[in-house]
Structure 1
């Protein structure tokens, strides 16, 4: 029983440090370099130096391709007038002159919209005829 406790205590204790020779020392300098485009990794001149190179893409000032030209679809990217018109159109349903199938006054708006469209088309035709008649 005592021998098993002694064995467990020895296994839990840290191992003694190893003595390193001069060839086992870590390098004195480590350089980390990001490469862009077709750049080449520089060679080391000092044996106590390590150069670590990583390819970082096309340019340090360019947005990566996966993030370019993404359309924004959040509320902040819409114009304020478009948001107001959408809210008004939604709230207009069912009111008189709204031309919606919901509510009792929705049918009157469809007739008014058709009359407005007809009148605008008539004005456009008259303006076109007047331009054609003018030499």
Structure 2
């Protein structure tokens, strides 16, 4: 009686000897499509081989202009504008810069005298505009 333990090995070796199925031929690469913008009377270039060239014609006056998408103002998003965002960032970082009259940052103390003088001049202008001595 043959041993059953060797049966799977024999079956695997027989399967390995069978001819491998013929591999399918690889599909040809897709043709190349090129999209171009041409202006005025410029000719649309011809494709080479299996290339497909698609041309969109624009008037000559648009040749050196910024694209229309970039010229349009974006719709208001309801959030703060760019200018106010920059002002907020500058105000937040100003306390770490020199001449800021702050204990934070290098030379933060150097702005204390300038801040006191600005406050004094503002009070003085206020007194002159109200007429109080």
TM interval, shorter chain, is 0.3 to 0.5
TM-score normalised to the size of structure 2? 0.35
TM-score normalised to the size of structure 1? 0.35
